Structures are given as structure tokens and as C-alpha cells.
A = this chain, B = another copy of it.
Amino acid sequence: MLDFSQTDSSELTARQRRHNQTRREILDAAWRLAEQTGIAGLSLREVAREVGMQAPSLYTYFDSKDALFDAMFAEGYRQLGEAVAEWTAQVGDLEPADALGTVIGLWIQFCQQSIARYQIMFTRAIPGWQPSEEAYAVSATEYQRMAAELEALGVSGPEDLDLYTAVASGLAAQQIANDPTGDRWVRLAPTAARMLLDDIARRRR
């Protein structure tokens, strides 16, 4: 005997899976295009064309352009969270300075990897847009996770953290603005880490 609730629920799930898959394709297309035009140049028509749809069909998957930006913003921070987890696992048995240097280098490369992602996460590149509360909550969560990992690497307390974020984000910004495909500032990561840790030690004294 058929279990209709089961069948119904699995049919719903299949439909939802298809829905989510299309959403995924739209997001991928949006990232691809934003990489070329800059995040502020993203156009829904072009996103639709990239996935082989007409523009109004996108509204089945995202309520508005702002909602698409929200999804991209949150996704960026989730990817950052995953990356941070990988990095900290990876540097577990290094000396503190080497560990922090590696993390800073990987951080710069994370920013460099997708300039559109960098723009939506860390700059105010989109006129009139800011993340919704929900999207902002994701960023706050991931930021706190990163802060906890940094604490383990010797960057502790709000002042240390503010100086660290300034240095790390500054290296990334210079890298992207002046040498987007190179490593001119990535190479400075070990020096920057050493500099930060020495300064923290000095201030502890």
C-alpha cells in the first residue's frame, strides 16, 4: 500500500531540489558576470541570458535584485567560514609566526580569487544596497568564527583584532587594486605576520 504522505513529501522534495538547482545555476551565472562587470554592473537581463532564461523568470527564484545580492553576500561569508576552517587545520603544527603568515597569505588569495565577492563582502560598491538583517547575521557569525581562530594564533582582544583586520584587508586591497593577478602583496604576508606578532608582544610588555 502506498504511503501518500511519503510519496507527496518525496515529490515535493524533488521539486524543491530542482528549484534549488536552478537557483544554484542563477547564482553561478551572477558570480561569473559580476566578475567581468564588477558587482555594481550586474544586470538581471544578462544573468537571465547567461542561464538561458528570460529576465522575468528569475523572479521565481529571487524576489528582487536585492535578494540576489543578499544570497551572494551570505554565500561569500559562508565560503570564508569554510576557508578559515581549512586554513586553521592546515597551519596547526606551524610556529605562531609561520601560521599567521600563512593565514594572511591565504586570506589575500581568497580575496583575489573573486573580486566580485570581495566587492560585495567588504566594500560598499553597490549604490543603495546593504545586506538584509538575515544576510548580515550570516556575516556576523562567520566573522566571529574567524576572530576565534585568530585568537588561537595570537591575535587577541579588540585592539589586536582591529589592527589585524586593517593590515590584512589593506594587503588584500592593494593586491587587488594594483596587481590583481600577481602576488606582490601576498609575498609580504610573512613579514606582516611577524610585524603584527612582534608588536603585540611589545604592547604586552
Contact = CB atoms under 8 A, between A and B. Distances in A.
Interface of A: 37-38, 40-41, 122-125, 127-128, 159, 162-163, 165-171, 173-174, 177, 184-185, 188, 191-192, 194-196, 198-199, 202-203
A127 B194 CA distance: 37
Given A191-B199, A195-B196, A173 B174 contact: no
Contact of A162 (B159, B166, B174, B198): B174
A107 to B, nearest CB: 12
Counted per complex, copies of this chain come to 2
A199 B196 CA distance: 9
A184 B170 contact: no
Contacts of A128: 37-38, 41
10 contacts: A40-B40, A41-B127, A41-B128, A123-B123, A124-B125, A162-B174, A166-B171, A166-B185, A195-B196, A198-B199
Nearest to A108: B166
A114 to B, nearest CB: 14
Contacts of A192: 163, 166
A29 to B, nearest CB: 18
